[in-house]
């Protein structure tokens, strides 16, 4: 997975794109973090409800084996068989290393414990400073104390323990904060310093391996979402904890997550970062271009780039779903809102806390306040010349990578039959 640098010279990154929180701080008294700026019109998406589309390109009855077989066709591309586990030890083979002007050690996991600790620290800082994320969780807990009072809470992937601290302050009977990284040691100290040692028990280890001192919990809370919702996520761990410890009428927070798709114009950036490999100082390096096209980009997309409507692909009910439900095939139909070019599809997600007194949640979409998840950009091989009202139809298949289940394989089938352009293609992407 590549990440786009945030330079001011990028034509689509207008002033303020990355600093919008400076003038618009989220107060504890606000109702939600950023859902007041809806990404989709009300008739195009609804929280907790999938939108059905008639499209022969999508076969909803596909099994997990069918989905897995869909990704066995593109191993001819050099490096296409690598996963994030391979990059752990071989970070230099990641194409982005060769163009991003930051130190190598900051772009890859280090195999030393010191670098691991520093990486965990950087991740914790990034998430805590994500005001949309952290304030939403805080508001959910503080404004719904009736859910937490005298309840036993399990915090899955606790990190610094911030969610556990919120729960304890809201009146939880006891909170078990489970964290498998070295950050658990820091969380214990943080809990102690803030005077919650009698309410919060920090447990270092994997959820699948620990032994809780209690048979059941009333609430499971977790910030499990990854880039593209499902990349390097902790969803299966949350589902494991749910099935093992949650009481029958227990609550999972958040309990709904929805994945969306839209299309953008992004000519100059694609030319700079993708087409660049066609001729590098007079040499053909297009083999790298093929790999670069396969790696989705994580970055903030300016809302002015959006060319079409947004399409709800999948809604997951965390309180009921099975682990295999995270692999799916979903149809899409994107309708152009203006005459323009389409260079890429963009995916993002929303999460919802539906058990609250008032529906609460946040969006990671381009029309909402920025989060550390940003958006996921999938570049198309074709440039689509589209006129207002014309449609791009297709399907997206998402599955766990067979070698490393924390990685995500994506297949997009799309077709377009417009006045100025006709295309039908299948593309493969690997988030790793």
The HSE-up count of residue 40 (CA atoms within 13 Å, CB side) is: 26
High-pLDDT (> 90) share of the chain, %:
63
- Per-residue confidence band for 126, with pLDDT thresholds at 50, 70 and 90: confident
- 234, 179 contact by CB (below 8 A): no
Q: What is the pLDDT of residues 388-404, one digit of tens each?
A: 999 999 999 999 988 88
Q: What is the CA radius of gyration of the chain?
A: 22
- Per-residue confidence band for 68, with pLDDT thresholds at 50, 70 and 90: low
pLDDT over 50 at 106, yes or no: no
pLDDT for the residue numbered 365: 96
pLDDT for the residue numbered 331: 98
The helix/strand/coil state of 54 is coil
**Length of the chain as a residue count:** 432
Is 99 among the catalytic positions?
no
CA angle, corner 113, sides to 108 and 119, nearest 5? 40
Cα(414)–Cα(394) distance, rounded to whole angstroms? 4
Quote the strand ranges of 367-406, DSSP E.
375-386, 391-400
Residues 6+ apart with CB under 8 A from 33: 26, 131, 132, 133, 135, 136, 139, 362, 369
Cα(342)–Cα(339) distance, rounded to whole angstroms? 10
Residue with the larger pLDDT of the pair 135 and 51 = 135
Mean pLDDT (whole number) for 150-169: 97
Lowest mean pLDDT among 144-158, 275-289, 303-317, 347-361: 275-289
pLDDT for the residue numbered 206: 96
Q: Select which of 223, 265, 295, 390 is catalytic.
A: 223
pLDDT for the residue numbered 373: 93
Is 232 among the catalytic positions?
yes
Cis peptide before 218 (omega within 30 of 0): no
**Average predicted confidence (pLDDT) for the chain:** 81
Cα(230)–Cα(232) distance, rounded to whole angstroms? 6
- 242, 252 contact by CB (below 8 A): yes
Element of type H or E holding 333 = strand 328-335
Least Cα distance to 86 among 109, 119, 114 occurs for 109
At which residue do the structure tokens 């772009």 appear? Answer: 107
Cα(67)–Cα(397) distance, rounded to whole angstroms? 7
CB atoms within 10 A of CB 6: 12
Q: What is the pLDDT of residues 4-42, one digit of tens each?
A: 544 333 334 333 333 222 333 334 434 445 654 443 443
pLDDT over 90 at 306, yes or no: yes
CB atoms within 10 A of CB 211: 6
Q: Select which of 24, 59, 232, 265 is catalytic.
A: 232
Q: What is the pLDDT of residues 112-123, one digit of tens each?
A: 454 455 555 566
CA angle, corner 95, sides to 91 and 101, nearest 5? 85
DSSP state of 382: E
Q: What is the pLDDT of residues 325-370, one digit of tens each?
A: 999 999 999 999 999 999 999 999 999 999 999 999 999 999 999 9
């Amino acid at each position: 997975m590549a990440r786009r640098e945030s330079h001011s010279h990028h034509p689509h990154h207008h002033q303020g794109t990355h600093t919008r929180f400076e003038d618009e701080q989220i107060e504890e008294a606000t109702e939600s973090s950023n859902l007041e700026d809806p990404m989709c019109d009300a008739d195009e998406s609804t929280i907790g409800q999938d939108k059905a589309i008639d499209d022969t390109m999508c076969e909803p009855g596909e099994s997990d084996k069918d989905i897995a077989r869909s990704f066995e066709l593109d191993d001819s591309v050099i490096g296409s068989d690598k996963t994030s586990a391979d990059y752990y030890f071989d970070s230099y083979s990641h194409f982005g290393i060769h163009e991003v002007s930051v130190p190598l050690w900051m772009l890859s996991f280090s195999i030393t414990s010191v670098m691991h600790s520093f990486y965990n620290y950087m991740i914790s800082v990034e998430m805590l400073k994500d005001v949309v994320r952290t304030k939403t969780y805080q508001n959910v807990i503080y404004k719904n104390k009736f859910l937490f009072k005298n309840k036993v809470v399990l915090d899955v992937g606790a990190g610094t323990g911030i969610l556990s601290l919120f729960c304890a302050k809201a009146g939880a009977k006891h909170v078990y904060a489970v964290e498998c990284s070295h950050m658990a040691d820091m969380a214990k100290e943080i809990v102690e310093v803030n005077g919650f040692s009698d309410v919060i028990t920090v447990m270092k280890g994997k959820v699948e391996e620990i032994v809780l001192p209690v048979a059941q919990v009333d609430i499971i809370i977790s910030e499990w979402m990854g880039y593209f919702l499902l990349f390097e996520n902790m969803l299966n761990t949350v589902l494991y904890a749910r099935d093992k410890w949650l009481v029958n009428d227990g609550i999972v927070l958040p309990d709904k997550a929805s994945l969306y798709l839209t299309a953008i114009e992004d000519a100059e950036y694609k030319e700079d970062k993708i087409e660049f490999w066609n001729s590098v100082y007079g040499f053909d390096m297009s083999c790298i271009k093929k790999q670069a096209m396969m790696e989705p980009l994580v970055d903030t997309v300016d809302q002015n780039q959006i060319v079409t409507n947004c399409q709800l692909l999948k809604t997951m009910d965390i309180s009921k779903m099975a682990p295999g439900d995270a692999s799916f095939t979903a149809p899409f139909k994107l309708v152009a809102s203006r005459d323009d070019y389409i260079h890429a599809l963009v995916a993002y997600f929303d999460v919802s806390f539906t058990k609250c007194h008032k529906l609460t949640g946040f969006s990671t979409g381009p029309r909402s306040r920025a989060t550390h998840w940003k958006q996921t950009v999938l570049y198309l091989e074709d440039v689509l010349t589209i006129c207002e009202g014309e449609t791009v139809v297709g399907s997206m298949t998402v599955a766990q990578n067979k070698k490393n289940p924390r990685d995500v394989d994506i297949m997009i089938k799309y077709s377009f039959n417009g006045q100025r352009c006709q295309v039908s293609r299948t593309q493969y992407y690997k988030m790793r």
